[in-house]
Structure 1
Amino acid sequence: MAHDARVLVSELVTNVYRHTRTAVVRIDVAVNPDYVRVAVWDDAPRSRLLGLPVFSEGDSGRGLFLVECLATRWGIYRPNTETRSRKGVWFVLDREGRDGDVP
């Protein structure tokens, strides 16, 4: 699980840099007996919103596809212009032999 978490965080941070060129990346991690939940946020409200994961045969473009394949669950935070909330991606990895619910 730790390897998968490292791969996914690396992919998501790389996506933030490649698509927003922002120097501000926020990573939130919650560790629970049943699961680990990670959220990666960017601070670039005008950059493009994320789409659905697709498989790419090129050298890039597989970040969300890897999240889809490795994470137990995942989703996207869409920004709210009224509250100036950030956008980001979260994922959950269940800990070994666990199947806990995530709020």
Structure 2
Amino acid sequence: MADLSQHEWITKLEADNNAVVLDVRTPEEVAEGIIPNAIHIDIFKGQGFIDEVQQLDKTKTYFVYCKAGGRSGQACGVMNQLGFNKTYNLLGGFSEWEGEVSSL
């Protein structure tokens, strides 16, 4: 796992054609908007989060975010323990996101 600034996160994301953006916020937070093309798995689902994450392709690169960067850092740690080798945490999270936003 690596913690990346928004600029670093976007640069790596755009350069990786094997990338997945993962939003780990709550459904209420997601209702405020989502980074385009992100998939949503709420980290507060506990075992449900682990179950859903284990269904993802471990060969892909995951760009993970939450509201401020704490939960997404935890999610990256869990994913690394589950065998995901490339996870990137967005420092500052969605609350500091300056890029495009879409709705689910």
> What TM-score comes out, normalization by structure 1 length?
0.31
Name the structure, 1 or 2, with higher relative contact order (CA <8 Å, separation 6+). 2
Bigger fraction of residues in strand: 1
Q: Which has the larger radius of gyration?
A: 1
Greater share of helix: 2
TM-score normalised by length of structure 2: 0.31
